[in-house]
Structure 1
Amino acid sequence: MNQKRVVIFSGGELHPQYIKEIQSGDFIIGADRGALFLVSHHVKPDLAVGDFDSISSEELKLVRSMSEKIVECDPIDKNLTDTELAFEMAIREQPEFILLVGGTGSRMDHTLANVQMLNRALQHHIACAIMDQNNYITLTGSKIVVLDRGYKYVSLLPMTPEVTGITLEGFQYPLTDATLKFGESLGISNLLLDASGSVSISSGLLLVIQSHD
């Protein structure tokens, strides 16, 4: 039976309140330092994965003892980041939804790489989101319902050179059959009018970013 949700804790920005995002029945993956974060907050990962070069040998012993399963890889002889390794294993679970926390932080290269991984989930017909204290990021190639999650703004950014047929319903600034291209700010800082709104597009890939300062 496929998992309904997979929650990945990666090694970026992590805060104790993220533990509250875990629901009963979730398949939980800790990537490198994300696994240590989980066990330090008394959560047993179903899977811990990574080279674990960002934690001490004593901390790794704790992760090994507290995880249902652990997959360790060489920190030199590998082609994927720890987060991408965790993401690949999440996709193998064939869930309906993947939530990535700790996927953003001070390393812009890792943050952008993780945002781009949303497209991989989309290719497998899996809904996916990246969440931190200030942002909730999703990707659509067709239509998505945006729920009010307590973030003030909703911004739209193209992930392909051009996104066409953008139509918004339930937003302060509506759009009908609009086009967004790389470098254009038309979709920045919109507002939901109610508990939800919808975003639909005809072609391309569109990032939907809920955020607050």
Structure 2
Amino acid sequence: MTSKRVFIYAGGEIDPISIKSIKQDDYIIGADRGALFLVDNGIKPHISVGDFDSVNAEEFARIQGFSDEILSCDAVNKDLTDTELAFDIAIEQQPTEIIMVGVSGSRLDHTLGNIHMLLRGLEQQISCFIWDRNNYITLTDSTHIVEDRGYTYASLLALSPEVTGINLEGFLYPLENATLKMGQSLGVSNRLVEAKGTIHIASGLLLVIQSKD
């Protein structure tokens, strides 16, 4: 399978450094005000989606003029958030990787909903990541390689009632055949001691959160 990445930019907390990771062959989706961020930084979205209730008429005109395609929906009569609309389009591209930027921030309900969206990617066998200034988040149900991205901590949290058979390599605090249950903090604030760390789990869903203050 040819490797294909999709970037989703939404209207939450955006790390401007993320645009340096965009490559020519990446598929770019702007969700609501995330589309404006892309336009303002000279990145042409393949498609911009949402109700666009967070931009004014002049900003929306700029988004329309700079995007290959626009998918606009009613701000009231819709069942999905702008980010989930974008995520559905991302999955349609059949990528190997989806990177979501601007999907976390002050709205905890939106942030948690977007973290839960990682499960949909996992079910489709797509590697999905959430990226902001202080966090890089993914979800695994098997083996995952954690790369040193300049974050201080690497925390592990159960997203299922329990995660079993956890083995860590390349971390300051190793685990061997450990079990984490939802609500436990055993896996919080670990650190990489090598350029890469390896996580193996036998069962369950494990959030992997690289973070810094």
Q: Distance in 1 between matches of 2:96 and 2:153?
A: 26
Asked whether 1:147 is paired with 2:144, we answer no
1:181 match: 181
Give the C-alpha shift of residue 193 in structure 1.
1.2
Asked whether 1:47 is paired with 2:41, we answer no
1:127 match: 127
8 Å Cα contact 1:38/1:45 also seen in 2: yes
1:112-161 C-alpha deviation (Å, 9 max, x unpaired): 00000000000000001000111100100111011101111100000001
> Which runs of 5 or more structure 2 residues have no equivalent in the other structure?
none
Q: Distance in 1 between matches of 2:62 and 2:15?
A: 20
Q: Distance in 2 between matches of 1:123 and 1:186?
A: 26
1:28 alignment partner, SS class = strand
8 Å Cα contact 1:170/1:197 also seen in 2: yes
Give the C-alpha shift of residue 14 in structure 1.
2.1
2:203 match: 203
TM-score normalised by structure 1 residue count: 0.97
Amino acid at match of 1:64: Q
Give the C-alpha shift of residue 92 in structure 1.
0.5
> Which runs of 5 or more structure 1 residues have no equivalent in the other structure?
none
1:71 match: 71
Q: Distance in 1 between matches of 2:167 and 2:65?
A: 50
8 Å Cα contact 2:15/2:101 also seen in 1: no
1:58 alignment partner, SS class = helix
1:166 match: 166
2:119 alignment partner, SS class = helix
Amino acid at match of 2:42: H
Q: Distance in 2 between matches of 1:13 and 1:135?
A: 10
8 Å Cα contact 1:154/1:208 also seen in 2: yes
Q: Any residues of structure 2 matched to 1:94-133 within 5 Å, and which?
A: 94-133=94-133
1:92 match: 92
* Percent identity for Structure 1 against Structure 2: 59
Q: Distance in 2 between matches of 1:14 and 1:195?
A: 25
Give the C-alpha shift of residue 41 in structure 1.
1.0
